[in-house]
Amino acid sequence: MTLVVDGVCKQFGRFPALNNVSLEVRDGEFLTLLGPSGSGKTTLLRVLAGLDRPDRGSVFLNGVDFLRLSARERRVGLVFQQYALFRHMTVAKNIAFGLDVRPARTRPSRDAIKARVSELLTLAHIDGLGARYPAQLSGGQRQRVAVARALAFEPQLLLLDEPFGALDTKVRKELRGELRRIHDETGVTTILVTHDQEEAMALADRVVLMNRGRIEQVGTPHELDDTPATPFVFEFLGECNRLPCEVSNGVARFEGFAAPVIGYGQSRGLGTVRGQALFRPADTCLDAGAAGDGLPVRVVQIGGRGAIRTLECLALSGHRLFAELPEHLALRFEVGQRVRLTARRVIVEPGRETDAKAHVDHQPARSVAV
Amino acid sequence: MIATVARRPINGPLPLLLLVLALAWISLVIGAPLATVLVQAFSKGVGPFFDAFKDPDALAAVRLTLIVAAITVPLNAVFGLAAAWSIAKFNFKGKALLLAIIDLPLSMSPVVSGLVWVLLFGASGWFAPWLEASGVKIVFALPGIVLGTVLVTLPLIARELIPLMSAQGADEELAAATLGAGGWTTFFKITLPNVRWALLHGVLLCNARAMGEFGAVSVLSGHIRGLTETLPLHVEAVYNEYDFVGAFACASLLAGLAVVTLVAKTILERADQMAAKQGSAA
């Protein structure tokens, strides 16, 4: 069983929400659509659910042309951002809805529906809440009901649109685990939309990272972390330092040091290129020794707590750079100290070098919490 | 919800003065007329009061009023639901225009609402030749009275539904669709139950207005005793003939309708609040 999306385009007025999106989803897979707002991830989900029609492209599930089916014919379970529970129905009635509205020929018997509902109440760990109304539930419980309702009619696909958006951090984490457990128990192919990279990476078998209506990269969380296809992917998945550099033959050269470039293959043979290097605070090393490689910087702040500490450093050029060090290493440094900074590996955004002056008041896009 | 608003106890002379003023004003402009209606109706005792309803013309007026309401209210309920549904759940060009047009009868004198139909269907109206040829009578007959009443009461149900349905959004309907429900199933199982109290509220207001409408109906009725006079018109006609007991007896029926409407409205609002508690933020 595979879902094949091919060349899907969708335009809202003059705004291209989906721009030639192609994707293959395997049977039983847990996929997350990740991206900033406006990246098209929710539109793609709505196209799959049948709530939006694409302008071009095709969607096939097991060889069935999905675009020729209406939302009600697709048998796709959709969990809405605000859950969209039926407010005047009890939890049990909500869950039974997908079965209750079937035509008499294919509708299960009343007892069978009842059994299915209690099965789902158990699966979603909400036994005993069947007689309540949605307004009498907490946010987390509502979310569980929404998932149970979407699963009750044995959908071919389970789609979730930012399902944890309205919940506090603790409940989020708990439900995240629950959702993965439910997926593993039912084996239903699941696609979840989120803008939270941590959530996407923690949950998914594979992550689809979207930006401006296009897919930037598809891969396992490990692949995305290890071999980001584009600087956007790298930047979206975590905090980064930015520093101008010169690249040739897969090596980025900075003032005082050099570092290998990840995903260099694409730009091989271009000669020497100037650009912006991006690298993680976790890949940043500091050395207090008298001699050796490294960009001269001054430690201006030491923050964080626990095993990992964040050191904020200021270069003479005005660049603010962050380094994450294990506690025992971080303790060797103090505020005001002059040290040398190097990076283990970098990714390069070619041709976007800005001069140092302009960079003084340019904070990193996602600054590290200190 | 109204009940959660914090209130201060009345203290000091100014709030007390305002309260007394408000009560005096209400008794003067609402209480006194209502009392007058009853006093006048029973001024010659219980017997003449009931005699007023033995008049066949009075009975005909009551019957006509009920018929007009029975046609008008369902028509406007269907229209109100359709209009509110399309405005609240869809985006389309001309939405603002539709909203403005729905409100138009509220800002228009009922006499005008009556006259427009006379201009269209009256003896020298646009459709007069066609109507004459086919023998259909609209003005000075039941169809005209219904048309006038429908126009005057048009916004009442739609305006109850539009804000509620807009606030509810279309997510529940979309969810029902993905769960396999068809259009009618979704309407009867999701949309209608979600607005049932507001709909009843609107029906109640629409009914009260339809039965009490004077201006538009007065223009369209032709005042044929026993045939095209509704209850409000009958009250005026009888009053003009100095039959005060008869006029006020019939007026007391209309006043009774107002009281029943008020009580039913209060009960509905309570039910609505309970439903809101049960269903809010779902």
Q: Of chain A residues 270-289, which have a CB less than 8 A from chain B?
A: none
Contact A88 B193 (CB under 8 A): yes
For A352, the enclosing helix (H) or strand (E) is: none
Q: How far apart are CA B115 and CA A322, in angstroms?
A: 79
Same domain, A215 and A270: no
B28 occurs within a structural domain: no
Chain A / chain B CB contacts < 8 angstroms: 87
Last residue of a domain, one of A208, A231, A254: A231
B11 occurs within a structural domain: no
Same domain, A110 and A193: yes
Q: Both ends of chain A: CA-CA distance in Å?
A: 47
Q: What CATH number does the domain containing A155 carry?
A: 3.40.50.300
B39 occurs within a structural domain: no
Coil, strand or helix at B72: helix
Same domain, A200 and A277: no
DSSP state of A237: T
A139 occurs within a structural domain: yes
Last residue of a domain, one of A196, A231, A266: A231
Same domain, A194 and A343: no
Compute the average pLDDT of residues B155-177.
93
Same domain, A226 and A258: no
Contact B178 A50 (CB under 8 A): yes
Contact A71 B177 (CB under 8 A): yes
Same domain, A56 and A34: yes
User: Using one digit for the tens of pLDDT, what is the confidence trace for B102-141?
Assistant: 999 999 999 999 999 999 998 888 888 888 888 888 889 9
Low-confidence ranges of chain A (pLDDT < 50): 352-370
Same domain, A144 and A269: no
Tell me the nearest-neighbour CA distance from B214 into chain A, angstroms: 39
Last residue of a domain, one of A178, A203, A231: A231
**Which token pair is B94?**
């001309």
A97 occurs within a structural domain: yes
B33 occurs within a structural domain: no
Q: What CATH number does the domain containing A351 carry?
A: 2.40.50.100
Same domain, A202 and A249: no
| Tally of structural domains, chain A | 2
Q: What's the confidence (pLDDT) of residue A265? A: 58
Of the pLDDT bands very low, low, confident and very high (cuts 50, 70, 90), residue B275 is confident
User: Using one digit for the tens of pLDDT, what is the confidence trace for B9-42?
Assistant: 667 788 889 999 999 999 999 889 889 888 988 8
Q: Which residues of B touch A142 (CB under 8 A)?
A: 282
Tell me the nearest-neighbour CA distance from A34 into chain B, angstroms: 22
Q: By the CB < 8 Å criterion, does A116 face chain B?
A: no
Q: Which residues of B touch A73 (CB under 8 A)?
A: 180
Q: What's the confidence (pLDDT) of residue A292? A: 82
The strands making up A273-279's β-sheet, listed across from edge to edge, are: A257-260, A251-254, A241-248, A273-279, A347-350
Q: What CATH number does the domain containing B241 carry?
A: 1.10.3720.10
Rg (chain B; Cα; Å): 23
The angle at the Cα of B126, spanning B118 to B107, to the nearest 5 degrees, equals: 45
Interface test with A, best of B179, B186, B278 (most A CBs within 10 A): B179
A365 occurs within a structural domain: no
**Which token pair is A272?**
């020497």
Judge contact between A341 and A213, C-beta under 8 A: no
The residue in chain A having the minimum alpha-carbon distance to the alpha carbon of residue B194 is A88
B18 occurs within a structural domain: no
Tell me the nearest-neighbour CA distance from B202 into chain A, angstroms: 20
Q: By the CB < 8 Å criterion, does A136 face chain B?
A: yes
According to DSSP, the residues that pair with A60 across neighbouring strands are A4, A65
Q: How far apart are CA A225 and CA A345, in angstroms?
A: 12
Same domain, A80 and A178: yes
Same domain, A274 and A222: no
Write the DSSP string, A294-331.
SEEEEEEEEE--TTEEEEEEEETTS-EEEEEEEHHHHT
Tell me the nearest-neighbour CA distance from A72 into chain B, angstroms: 4
Domain that holds residue A176: 3-231
Rg (chain A; Cα; Å): 25
A298 occurs within a structural domain: yes
Q: How far apart are CA A310 and CA A326, in angstroms?
A: 9
Q: By the CB < 8 Å criterion, does A85 face chain B?
A: yes
> For chain B, what is the mean pLDDT?
89
Q: What's the confidence (pLDDT) of residue A362? A: 38
| Tally of structural domains, chain B | 1
Of the pLDDT bands very low, low, confident and very high (cuts 50, 70, 90), residue B6 is low
Of the pLDDT bands very low, low, confident and very high (cuts 50, 70, 90), residue B184 is very high
Q: How far apart are CA B70 and CA B102, in angstroms?
A: 21
Tell me the nearest-neighbour CA distance from B182 into chain A, angstroms: 7
Domain that holds residue B178: 49-279
The complex scores an ipTM of 0.80
Compute the average pLDDT of residues B53-82.
94
Same domain, A189 and A268: no
User: Using one digit for the tens of pLDDT, what is the confidence trace for B40-53?
Assistant: 888 888 888 888 88
Same domain, A248 and A170: no
Q: By the CB < 8 Å criterion, does B178 face chain A?
A: yes
B36 occurs within a structural domain: no
